[in-house]
Amino acid sequence: MKKGTTVYLYELAWILPSIAIPVGMLAALTVTAFGAGIHLPSVDRQVNPTKLAETPPFDAPRVAQVAPGKYEVYLTGQIWSFAPAEVRVPAGSTVTFVATSRDVVHGFMIPGANVNTMLLPGQVARVTTRFDTPGEYPMICHEYCGIAHHTMGGKLIVEPRS
Ligand code: CUA
């Protein structure tokens, strides 16, 4: 093999993957976003964190049934608790969390479910997931938010269908 040919093949071995890898990633993104409907938790809208007491729905944090089998949880994080601290839904429910912070940056995570977002004062996070398996799921703050951060949690109870 001539020297020139070797260099060319060597370059090609770098060039082809550097094209194939981004193209593959873009294809994976397209398939998951449009095909599988997977989205990052995103900012829904903005609110004034000092006026949450008079800003619906955060003036009354709660679980609301919006359609058969569909629930919305209007949730706030504050040092060092979630409101509501306990959420109950029947198994098979699709639950959308609409959540924000009253004070500092908090986290909101439900291990074992597809819920993991940040609660930022002023920003409303929106994340939807489905609960099929009855049981008790912890709701955890996973962003350090001060001296009692480790105590900040709640629970989500998925009740068996009767
Ligand atoms: Cu709230 Cu850590």
Residue 1 reports pLDDT greater than 60 = no
CA distances from 63 to 6, 70, 76, 124 (A): 67, 10, 12, 16
71 DSSP 8-state letter: E
Q: Whose CA is nearest to atom 1 of ligand 1?
A: 106
Atom number in ligand 1 closest to CA 119: 1
Q: Please give the model's pTM, rounded to 2 decimal places.
A: 0.76
pLDDT for 45 equals 83
Cα(79) to centroid(ligand 1), Å: 7
Cα(82) to centroid(ligand 1), Å: 9
Q: Report the percentage of the chain scoring pLDDT > 70.
A: 93
User: Parallel, antiparallel, or unpaired for β 153-159 and 86-90?
Assistant: parallel
Q: Is the CB of 119 under 6 A from ligand 1?
A: no
pLDDT for 33 equals 82
47-69 pLDDT tens trace: 898 998 898 999 999 999 999 99
138-161 pLDDT tens trace: 999 999 999 999 999 999 999 998
Structure tokens at 13: 């071995």
Cα(77) to centroid(ligand 1), Å: 8
Mean pLDDT of the chain: 91
pLDDT, mean of residues 117-146: 94
pLDDT for 36 equals 74
Q: Is the CB of 106 under 6 A from ligand 1?
A: yes
